[in-house]
Amino acid sequence: PQQTVQVGGVLAEVETSGEAAGASVPAASEPQAGSTDSPSEKSSSEPPAASGAGGSPENVRPILMPQASNTMEEGILVAWKVSEGDTIEVGQVICEVETDKATVEYESPEAGRIARLLLKENEAAPIKEPIALLADNDADVEAYLATRDTGAPATATAGAAASSAGEAPASEAPGAAATAAVSAPATRTAGGRVKASPAARKLASERGLDLAAIGQGSGPGGRILSSDVARAKVGAPAAADGQIQRYPMPKMRRAIGLNLQRSKQTIPHFYLSATVDAAALVDYYRARKPQTGCTINDCIVLATGRTMAEFPAVRSQIVEDEILEYPHANIGIAVGVEHGLVVPVVRNVDTLSLDQLASEAKRVVENARMGKLDNVGQGNFTITNLGMFGVEAFSAIINPPESGILAVGAARESVIVEDGAIRAARVMTLTISTDHRIVDGVIAAKFIGRLKEFLEHPDTLLG
């Protein structure tokens, strides 16, 4: 029968060679290969050494560090939303985790009592390692921890790393920490990304500061905080003329590269372009901007959502050998950030009004620029717009596992030939990239044709 197993859970147990068929697998408290004692030599009344006083590790359910992307190797626990002793439900946000691309809210896959939080805020852990334990009593937790190789959580924390390096805790001698931050180089992750909080990244971007030039931060493990950025001076010295700078590829750039490389290699991309008479769209946007605060991109996102409501294949994902058809249009909006781009998702676009969409799009985009991604993994289509840079047309790479991506060019002045007459016009070129495994040429052609109709007649179709 089919069963569901949590990521990181046990799928099967394999016997080593030489074991008798049908022999039971030793419990965690029993000696393993190489032990000088056998289970039969131990007193049956003697409690297992690995168990806590009266506790049972089988009653503990660990919550693991999530893998929010295919390239994520570790996560930083930014903030807990729960405390030890709290009772949580499935889907409840329990913490914020900083990944290789942004900060995301982590919804609990389990329900129960939070018996132990294994990470402190701003500490890191590899993916699929326990970050919290669910249990009804603390004796079970102690028994569970005793079964682990080190007798404690196996996650190496930033605080422990700092202690082993001889660094003083952040709470001690704040003046000395600030001085050290100026003289020491910036701390980087294994992937080369400067360690900094989302707020620090946002402030550095606003001030035009290079995080690497700020030096080591005053946060845990040398992490740069917004207060470090505030103290930094604008105008860090540039490299000498003609000198080549060499530095590790930022972790975000590496993650983006691997993800898109995998997309191009494994997804059969199919491209279609259409040129839209955008005069009515521009007028529609200008008339509604004072009331809704919308952008022209919001109007395009809304029209795309309305179109997706009519094409189930376009609001779908492909996950391994399954097609996941969503009931609504969940559209990702590509946002440029330091070292790359991220794609927060606006859910249920086809059900929103223009003012609702404008408000929600603004919220998720601002969060993304601060390092927090909304609705990660729930998108079924993405829109990327380079029109503001004067780009007339381009083809984009699909963000897996979504069905496609729409590339939007600039609304530019041109001429249109209509009924043999030439007239001045404002046009916009759209290029759709679709996954040919689920969206074939006919569906893509009908989709972009219907989208063009929405954009050229926004008053009657968008409302």
Would you name the residues annotated as active-site residues?
436, 440
Q: For residue 415, what are its two tokens?
A: 């001429």
Rounded Cα–Cα distance for residues 184 and 203 (Å): 21
The C-alpha angle with vertex 381 and arms to 63 and 430, in degrees rounded to 5, equals: 155
377 Cβ contact list (under 8 Å, min separation 6)? 68
Largest CA distance in the chain: 100
